[in-house]
Amino acid sequence: MAKKKSKYKQRIPTVDAVLWEEHGDDDSVGTFSESPWADDECSVCGRHWSEHGRLEEPGNPVADVQAVCPGSYLFDHHGFMSVLPAEQFEAMYEGGT
Ligand SMILES: [Zn+2]
């Protein structure tokens, strides 16, 4: 027998977020420019790794180091930074004013 549907609501109604497009957009984001593979292309967005942000946050349950593809939102999630592609983020959140 099929399960009965229940109501779910988003746990965090508002988040502090920034659209990260290039180096300098957020002070907490570093760079992969020193990496030996800085000129390689990212398998997700196809841009060079040197154009990506490097978000280092020891203890973050997602990962200690997260790569930020240009065009991703950074947002605070339970005290740690999360990264989502703009399309996904904008499907979940609206605003930005
Ligand atoms: Zn990428």
CA–CA gap between residue 52 and residue 70 (Å, rounded) = 6
Q: Is the pLDDT of residue 96 over 90?
A: no
**Chain centroid to CA 4:** 34
- Give the pTM: 0.81
Task: Give me the pLDDT at residue 25, please.
Answer: 97
**For residue 72, how far is its CA from the centre of ligand 1 (angstroms)?**
9
**For residue 9, how far is its CA from the centre of ligand 1 (angstroms)?**
31
**For residue 15, how far is its CA from the centre of ligand 1 (angstroms)?**
23
What digits encode the pLDDT tens for the residues 30-54?
A: 999 999 999 999 999 999 999 999 9
What mean pLDDT is predicted for residues 17-35?
Answer: 95
**For residue 52, how far is its CA from the centre of ligand 1 (angstroms)?**
6
Task: Give me the pLDDT at residue 58, please.
Answer: 94
Which of 11, 21, 31, 8 has its CA nearest to residue 77? 11
CA–CA gap between residue 60 and residue 77 (Å, rounded) = 10
